[in-house]
């Protein structure tokens, strides 16, 4: 049976905090763009909440992508719940690595260089999440190796 050492528990708590920060930053100013709205150029700022729930009936094309908005909101939530509830297995670290990679890739692919402060901080959080998840994965494996002690053979008595 695997266990969670004190250093893995501390890293897991940091990862929980980073997923909370990432979810909050995605709900703040996420992307900024200059678009033509009703014949005039305006600065349009978007959040993941606007993309996910504010797109219904919106005239601005950038705010009409509900699937991408839900992806931005779902990744930190999935990572948070795995880190919060999975205390014994190493699956949480694989989920953390996956959420970090998918999050960074989706921000770069769908937003590009029109990032707001929320997207920049989220990318930094995702980088830290990936690094810490890899560290925690190897620490977990190392701690479990220490737990398994080889059985010593007793000499055969005649």
pLDDT of residue 2: 57
Supply the pLDDT for residue 59.
58
The parent domain of residue 14 ranges over 6-28+69-142
In a domain? residue 149: no
Q: What is the tens place of the pLDDT at every residue in 53-62? A: 765 555 555 5
Task: Please indicate, yes or no, if residue 77 is contained in any of the structural domains.
Answer: yes
Asked whether residue 116 is assigned to any structural domain, the reply reads yes
β 31-37/40-46 pair status: antiparallel
Long-range own/partner contacts, residues 29-32 (CB < 8 A, 24 or more apart): 29/116, 29/117, 29/118, 30/72, 30/111, 30/115, 30/116, 30/118, 30/119, 30/122, 31/62, 31/111, 31/114, 31/115, 31/116, 31/119, 32/114, 32/115, 32/116
Let me know: does 13 contact 151? Beta carbons within 8 Å: no
Convert the pLDDT of each residue in 83-93 to its tens digit.
Answer: 888 888 888 88
pTM: 0.76
- Count of domains forming the chain: 1
């Amino acid at each position: 049976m695997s266990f969670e050492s004190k250093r893995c528990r501390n890293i897991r708590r940091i990862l929980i905090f980073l997923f909370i920060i990432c979810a909050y930053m995605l709900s703040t100013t996420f992307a900024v763009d200059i678009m033509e709205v009703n014949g005039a150029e305006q600065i349009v700022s978007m959040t993941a909440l606007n993309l996910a729930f504010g797109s219904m009936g919106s005239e601005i094309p950038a705010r009409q992508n509900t699937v991408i908005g839900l992806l931005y909101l779902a990744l930190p939530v999935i990572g948070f719940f795995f880190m919060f509830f999975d205390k014994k297995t190493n699956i949480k670290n694989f989920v953390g690595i996956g959420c970090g990679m998918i999050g960074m890739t989706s921000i770069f692919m769908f937003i590009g260089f029109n990032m707001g402060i929320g997207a920049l901080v989220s990318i930094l959080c995702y980088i830290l999440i990936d690094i810490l998840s890899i560290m925690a994965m190897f620490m977990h494996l190392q701690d479990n190796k220490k737990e398994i002690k080889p059985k010593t053979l007793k000499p055969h008595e005649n």
